Structure 1
Amino acid sequence: MSSFNQSKHVPDATVIMQQGYQPLDPVNTTGLLTEFVLLGFPSLTPLFRLLLGSLLSICYTFTLVGNLCIVWAVLRDSRLSHLPVYILLGNFSGLEMCYVTTTAPRMLSDLTSPPPATISFHSCFLQFYFFFSMGTTESFFLAAMALDRYLAICHPLRYPMLMSQRFCGQLAASCWLCGFLWFLAPIALISQLRFCGPNVLDHFLCDPGPLLASSCAPAPGTEMAFYSLSSTAIFGPFVFIVCSYVAVLRAVTKLPSAAGRQKAFSTCTSHMAVVGLFYGSIMVTYVVPEASGGGNKVVTLFYAVVTPLLNPLIYSLRNKEMKDALKRTLWGK
C-alpha cells in the first residue's frame, strides 16, 4: 500500500511544462476533472526512462514467472497441495502476481511513451482501489501465515486439528474477502468528491494524497476514515505477527536440542524475511510521511515491484520442500 500524505503538494509548473504538459491554473474552478496526469519521475532523461522501463520489464517478467512456478508447484505436487502452509503460500504467490500487475504495466506504458502520461478518472480510481485492496490482502495473508507457524510450533500435537484443510481454506477466503472489502467504502466516498484541480498527480500511480489535493474542498471526514483504515490494515496484522513470533521464539528456546531449535526456527525465516521487506518499506512512509516526493515514490516502487520479485526467491531458495517440488513439477526430477 502506498503512503497517505495529506499535504497539499502541487507540482512545480516549470517542471510540468518541461515535461511536455500544458500549463495549468493553480485551481480549476470552471469545470470538473475528467482525467489526471501522472507526473512519474519527471527528472529522468529519455535514456534513463528507457533504462528504468527495461529494468521494470525484466522485474515484472521474473515476478510473474517466479510466483507462477510456486503456484504451479503447490497445485501439482501432491506432497504440498494438502499442507496448510503451502496452500497459504500458493494463494500469496497468486496475489503477488495480481498486485504487481496493478502498477507495472501502466508504469511501463508511461515510461515508454512521450509525456504527458494521462489516465482517465475511472481508470485512476480502479487502480487506486485494486492497489490498496491487494496491499491490504497481502497484509492479511502475512498475518495468516504467521498464525500457521505459531500453531505448528507452539501447538504441534493439535496443529493438524487446528489448521485443517477446511479451516485453511476458510482463512484464505477470509483474507481475500476482507482485503477487497476493506477500502471499498472510503475509496467510493473519495471518488464522489468534486475534483477541480490541479490535475497533475506527483506520482506514478493514483495515490490518495495527490488525489485529495485535487479536490475542490477539504474532506476531513473522508481523509480520517481512509487514514484510520489504512493504519489498521498495516499495523493491526503487523502487531499480530510480532506477537506470534514472540510466542514462537519462547517456544523454540524451550526445545531441549539445538537441532530441534534450528529446525523449528528455519521454518519461519522465509516468512520473517518477507514480513521485513513488506512492512519495513511501508513503515518508512509512515515514519517519514513528509519525505520528498521522489523518495516516497522510490519506496512505493520498492514494495510494489521489487518485493513481489524477491518473495519467490526467498521461499524457494530457503525451503527444501519447495525446491524439491519445483524440480519434480517443472523438470520431472
Structure 2
Amino acid sequence: MLSISYLFLCLIVLKIVKRSIKITLLKMKKTVIVSSPGKLIIGGEHAVVYGRRALVTSIGMRLYMQLTEEEQDNETNKRLLNITFHDTNQYYSIDLLDIHDSYPIEIQGILYIYNHFKSFISDQNQLNIQVRSEIPIGAGLGSSAAFSVCLVGCFYLLYYKKFNQEDINELSYKVECIFHGTPSGIDNTISTYGQSLIYSRTLKKHINFHLSNLTIIDTGIPKSTKKMVDLVRLFVENNQKDGEKILNDIELCVDTMIEHPEQINQLFEQNQKLLKCLGVSTLEIDNIIQILEKKNISTKITGAGGGGCLIALTSDFTKDQILDLLKDNHIKSIYLVECGVEGLREEQTF
C-alpha cells in the first residue's frame, strides 16, 4: 500500500515538474544582437544607378540592433512589437493585429520584415527591437542600409540560427527600396559583406583598397537621397548625350582610382567636378571644397550629394586643424575613419 501511494505521489510531482519546465521554456527569452557598418562611396556616385562601376568601402562606424522574442506578460488580445531607438529616444509599441499605414518609414521597414518571418513567431509571444547607431542619419554614410541589413540579419539569426549573406543582402535591398525608392543596392551590399568593393549591377568584386588619410566632413546640410536620385534622372533624360558622357567619365575616374591609386588626389577633384555637372553639389559644398583646395586638400561629395557628407584626403592635417579651416562653415562633425572593415556580424553585447 505504501509503495502505491509513493508511486502516486511521484507521478504528481513529475507532472508538476514537467509543467514547471514547460512554463519556464515558454517564458525564456530568445535574443540575438548584430551589427553592421556604414559605408563611403569613394567614387561612382549616381553613375552606379545607371550600371556604371563604383568604388565603395565599409567604415568603422556601426549600427547595432537587438531582437528579442518572449512571452507576453499580460493576457490581452494584442500581439505586441516594441521598438526602441536609443539615439533619438523614440519608442513604439505596435499591436500587430491592428496595423495601420501611417507609421514612420523605419517602422514600415520593420513591419515588412516581420511579415516575411511571422510564420516563425508564436502567437503568444511579443517582439522587442532595440537600435543604437554610431552612423549619422541622413549624411550619406549608409545609415538606412546598416539598419536594413541588421534588421534582416536579426531575424535570420533568431529563426535560422545563422547568416545567409546572399539572402540577407537581397531582402535588405527590398527594405532599402521602402526608404529610397529605387536605390542602386550598393549600400546594403557593402553593409552586408563589408571590406571594399567594385560594384555595379553586373559586378561585385572585393578588392584590397585602403586610404590612410581619409576624413569624413559632415556638413550638417540636410539632404534627401531620393530627391537627388530623381534630380539626376531628370538631368540624364533631358540631356542624354551630355548625361551619358558625364556618367562614363565618372566610371573612368573609378577605374583609374583602382589602377593608379597614386593619382587619387586629382581623381577626387575630377570626380567632384563631374558630380557638380550633374547638379548634386551646392554653393555651400562648393565653398567648403574651395577652402580646402587652397591647403591642397582634395575633397569630394560622398553619397547622393545636396548636403550630407564630404570626404577629404587630409594628409597630415589634424581634426582640429580642419575644423579651424572651416570655422565659418558651421560644420556639424568630422570623423577620421578606418576603411574596409567587417560586414554584418553577431555581437555578444548591445
TM category (shorter chain) comes to under 0.3
**Whose helix fraction is larger, Structure 1's or Structure 2's?**
1
Larger CA Rg, structure 1 vs 2: 2
